[in-house]
Amino acid sequence: MKALRIKKIGIKEIARIGVMAAGVYAASAFLQIPVPTAIDNTRLHMGNVMCLLAGMLLSPLEGGFAAGIGSMFFDLTNPAYIASAPFTFAFKFAMAWICGRIVSAGSQQRKRRYAAGCMLGALAYVACYLVKSFVEHRFVLGMPMEAVMLSIAQKALVSGTNAVVACLVAVPLGMALRPALSKMIK
């Protein structure tokens, strides 16, 4: 059995995580369109683009931390989302980590890996978000099933749109930026 090897995180890694986390926060906070729903609130935003880019451009772990930290800070600075901050950290971390793992695996079929990484990372986030929303509305708030399903359907539509837009924007940006960034980092 292999021993788990933990890599030290140096100042360069911390700086990369911080810069990408700031980009995630800015895209989440300033590039958004609020979408009122019958029961809850949701929004279209560019934060997911930056989360996926963090996974593509940094290592999966660094990208996960950048996506999670930037998104969590957005939630902590917005009273409507503050209670969701721990979940947001975990879900956005997972989105960027999954994307980063797939993109950085091997060197064959690069375009397919970028698209697959984005799609699977975004899909994982949407699934986690919708399950959390269902549990929260049904079991924490005690809403009737019809209201819960209406809310979930609306959130699924907006989150699905966010996921598609994030993939359409992040894939070409990631493919263009990663080679240049990898030369600068080395």
The model's pLDDT over 91-105, given as tens digits with 9 standing for 90+, comes to 999 999 999 999 988
33 vs 149: CA distance, rounded Å: 23
Q: Look at residue 9 and tell me if it is in a domain.
A: no
Determine, yes or no, domain membership for 154: yes
Nearest-angstrom CA–CA distance, 154 and 134: 12
Q: What is the pLDDT of residues 15-70, one digit of tens each?
A: 999 999 999 999 999 988 887 776 667 788 899 999 999 999 999 999 999 999 99
Residue 69 in domain: yes
Q: For residues 53 and 2, give the distance between their C-alpha atoms in angstroms, rounded to a whole number.
A: 31
- Looking at per-residue pLDDT, the higher value among 154 and 50 belongs to 50
CATH number at residue 91: 1.10.1760.20
Beta carbons within 10 angstroms of residue 124's beta carbon: 17
The pTM of the whole model exceeds 0.85: yes
Provide the residue range defining the domain that includes 31: 14-185
Q: How many domains does the chain have?
A: 1
Position 29 in a domain? yes
Asked whether residue 6 is assigned to any structural domain, the reply reads no
Kindly indicate the confidence band of residue 107, based on its pLDDT and cuts at 50, 70 and 90. low
In a domain, 8, yes or no: no
| Residue type for position 38 | A
Residue 5 within any structural domain of the chain: no
Residues 6+ apart with CB under 8 A from 174: 52, 53, 56, 57, 103, 114, 118
Percentage of the chain lying above the pLDDT 90 cut = 69
pLDDT at 134 over 80: yes
The answer to whether residue 105 sits within a structural domain is: yes
pLDDT of residue 9: 77
Percent of the chain whose predicted confidence (pLDDT) is above 70: 90
- Write down the mean pLDDT value for the chain: 90
The pLDDT-based confidence of 80 (bands split at 50, 70, 90) is confident
Please tell me the predicted confidence (pLDDT) of residue 26.
97
